[in-house]
Structure formats: C-alpha cells, structure tokens
Amino acid sequence: MVESAPSPLLPTSLFRQIATRLAILMAIFAVLDVAIVVPMYAFDEQALAEDFIGRQARRIARVRNAPPAPPVEGLNLAAVPAPFGVTEWGFVIVDGALNPVYRQNEGAVPGAASWPSLSTLDWTRRDSTKEGVRISGVRRFQGEAGTYWVLIHAHPAGRAAYWPVIGQELLEHVALPLLPLTLLLLVFSVQVVRRMLSPLEAAAAEVDALDPSRMEARLSTPSASREVYALVTAVNRALGRLQQAMTTLKSFTADAAHELRTPLSVLRLRIESLPEGASKTRLGEDVQAMTRLVNQMLDLAQADALRLDEAGEIDLYDLASATVAQIAPHAFSSGHEIELVDRGGSPVRGHADALGRALRNLIENAIHHTSGGAPIEVIVGPGTRLAVRDHGPGLPVEDRDRIFDRFWRKSRSGPVGAGLGLGIVRSIVEAHGGAVEAGNASGGGAVFTCTFPARPSEGLGHEDPAD
C-alpha cells in the first residue's frame, strides 16, 4: 500500500497575522493602562479612604433599605460583618433629626460631637493615632423614612482594606470604559485590514484562474494602494516575459522539427541504398522512430497554435470514417480489426486536420498497447463525443492521471516512443474547448473519450461509449 505524502503546512494568512498582532497590541495597551492607573490610585491615600468609606456606607444602606423595610429601630444590623483588612470598625445611623437610631461597636465610634449636621452631605477624614491611621466619614442617603446619615470609623490594617476598593476602581474606571473601546478599535482595525488585503485576494484568485493555453491573460490592475499596484504590475510583467519565452520556445520547437524533416528524408534514402542486412534494418527503424518524433513535435506545435475563430463545422462521423480508412492498412498489418460505431454523433466546430490527428493518435495508441487479433472500436456519439476503445489489459489506476503528460512513459525499456501521442490528443481537444478522459471499459480494455462543447441548440447524450 502506497502512503500519500503529507500535505505541506501552509503559512498563516497575512490577515490573520495582522489581526493577531493588533489584538496583542491592544492587550499590551490595556496592561500598560492598568500598570499606570493602579500605582497612581494606590498611593493616593485620601482617594482610597474616600472610596473605602463610600463603599462601606453603601453596603450598610443596602441592608437598611432591603425589603421589607421595617422601622430603623427594628433593624438587626449586628449581622453586618466588618470589612476585610480592618482591625477595628464601627458605624452609627443618624436619622433626619440627627438622632442615633442604630449603633454597631460603640467603642469604635466617637461621640456626638463628630456627628453630621443637617447641612452635611459627605466628608472623609484621616487621622493618625497610636494604633495607626484611622479613617472616618459620613455619607448621606435618602430612604423611604426620609434622609439619614451613616457615620463610619475604621482602623485599616495596612493596604489590605483597600484591595476591594482598588478592584472596584479598576472595574469601573479602567475595564468598563477600556474594554468596549478596545474591542471597537480592534474590530475597526480588522475591517480596515481585510479591506486593504481584498485586492491581494482578488489577484490570487486571478492567478489561480490563469490557463497555460491563454498566455496573453493578465491580472486586473487594482487602484487600492501603491504596494498592491506595484505587486500586480510586476506579476503582469513577469507573465509577459514568460509568454515571450514560451512563444520563443514553441517557435524554436516547430522550426527545429520542420528543419529536421529534410535531413531525415535524405538519411532515409541513403539507408535504402545500403546492402540488405541487420544493420540496415536497425538504421531504418531508428530513422522511422526519429521521423515519427519530429512529426509529433510538429503536431504538438500546431496544436498549441490552434485558434477556433478560424474553425469550421465538422461532422464527427465523416471525420472518423476518413481517419479509419486512412489507418486501416496499418491496423490490419498489426493483426487488428477496426470497427466504426455510430451512436448519433453531432457536428462540432473545429479543425478537421487537427481532430483527425488526435483520433489517429488514439487509434495508434490502441494498436501499440494491445496484442494482435483484438478489435479496436471507434465510437462516434452520442452527441459531440468521440471515443476509441481497445480490448487490451486496460489502464492501471495510478497511470490515469499521467498518461496525457507530454514525454511521459511508464517504462523506458518498452516500445520506441517519446510519450507525445496522448499529449498531442489532449492539446488538440482542449484547444477545441473539449476534454479527454481515460478509463477502463466495463467489458475489459481501455477507452479514451473526447467530449466537445455542444452547440446551443443541442445537448450531450449520457450513454457511456464504453458499454
């Protein structure tokens, strides 16, 4: 069992690379923002104290206002735990008449002298004591029973008491404003990058659609950016140079093949004048093989230069009949019979000489690869189909994708041949807008089917010519 080679790993797309770098840049920006904001805020002792008092006052107010809302005197606020990171704390709730309605941990709460007045809104103070820094403050609230104040005193144990405050600050003033802005900027940048790269994607699609049979094709020149324009024009210039090189190569091949025909003809005449013998026979066979190769090179050059605008209407049955009559003596001498089968062929547009060469190459291929006595069928139709079937050993599956490649031969030790016959067939058929396929017939043997474009008023039949 032959294991297929693993497919190469494709590099990451340019769009993904840019989008990933933008996302990393946004993340770095967010980390830097946090790294700048946190130290500035963490060393502002007064701001930390104000936020701490406000946070604890709101926590007490939520308990006081939680439904159902009983009178303040009936509240059980003793369950309000001390905040994290304080060694001592207490609070007093004062009603609208400045009367204390609830106390928790009276020992930590100063007397009435520090209570708010009716005009007090909010205040926060930091005092140095023997036990350390003490913070106190007042916050005013509006509840169902009217206005009330919460007076809080606390002794923080270092900065641990401020951690929740710092976390809340980061959430409210860094994360919530920065996250939507960062995402919006990232989406905007990604869309801009996608739009800027779309001309490259369009150019790549046009490159994939390039056909070697249409060397004059060029990429559409975009006006998106100078860099993309420069890249596409450079590719077009390369295609122009490639077209020029291919034209020169084809011209050289055709000219060389044409010039070789005369020396080969002279050489063949001189060999015929030699005395009979094994050497003369071998030389004759070599010259015959060289002549066949030169003729195939000419056929290949002519097939590459075919243009349908100079074509005419061809009856496939008449074409097949003339080709069979021409090659029949060679088939009979090789011990083969040729059968012409008409299954309702339709006219096609093309060059009769070129299509005749293609059909002759298919028949010669069948003659060379089947033993004597096996018949060869030339099938016309249904529709615009032309097929040649033999009754030989058939085609190995692994060879079907390569037999139409130029100069390909499965074995170099086999019969003389350059491997151009089926390549010529494919070039001629594709030049006519058709396709050629190779496969094995249901009853044994190989079948080569050429399918040409149908005229607008006709459709292709679906019967298998190999049946």
> How far is the C-alpha of 418 from the C-alpha of 296, rounded, in Å?
9
The region, left, alpha or beta by phi > 0 then psi within -120 to 50, assigned to residue 180 is alpha
Placement of tokens 């735990």 in the chain: 81
pLDDT at 70 over 70: no
Q: Is the Cβ–Cβ distance between 164 and 53 less than 8 Å?
A: no
Tens of pLDDT, residue by residue over 228-264, are: 888 888 888 888 888 787 777 666 666 666 666 677 7
The DSSP string of 35-55 is HHHHHHHHT-HHHHHHHHHHH
Region 222-233: mean pLDDT is 80
Bridge partners, residue 314, by sequence: 348
pTM over 0.75: no
At 382, list the tokens.
């249904």
Q: Comparing 50-64, 121-135, 153-167, 451-465, which segment has the lowest mean pLDDT? A: 451-465
Q: Comparing 13-27, 36-50, 67-81, 212-226, which segment has the lowest mean pLDDT? A: 67-81
pLDDT at 309 over 80: no
Q: Please choose, from the candidates 251, 196, 188, 162, the residue with its C-alpha nearest in 3D space to the C-alpha of residue 26.
A: 188
Q: What is the predicted pLDDT for the residue at 1?
A: 41
- Which residues have CB under 8 Å from 295's CB, separation 6+? 257, 261
Task: Identify the three-state secondary structure at position 334.
Answer: coil
Model confidence band, residue 387 (pLDDT cutoffs 50, 70, 90): very high
Model confidence band, residue 320 (pLDDT cutoffs 50, 70, 90): very high
Residue 336: Cβ-neighbour burial (10 angstroms; 0-12, 13-18, 19+)? buried
At 217, list the tokens.
């094709």
CA 138 to chain centre: 64
* 23 vs 73, higher pLDDT: 23
Tens of pLDDT, residue by residue over 268-295, are: 777 887 888 888 788 877 777 777 667 6
> How far is the C-alpha of 294 from the C-alpha of 300, rounded, in Å?
10
In this structure, how many other beta carbons lie within 10 angstroms of the beta carbon of residue 419? Answer: 17
Q: Please choose, from the candidates 343, 378, 374, the residue with its C-alpha nearest in 3D space to the C-alpha of residue 363.
A: 378
Model confidence band, residue 68 (pLDDT cutoffs 50, 70, 90): very low
Q: What is the predicted pLDDT for the residue at 252?
A: 66
Q: Is the Cβ–Cβ distance between 324 and 338 less than 8 Å?
A: yes
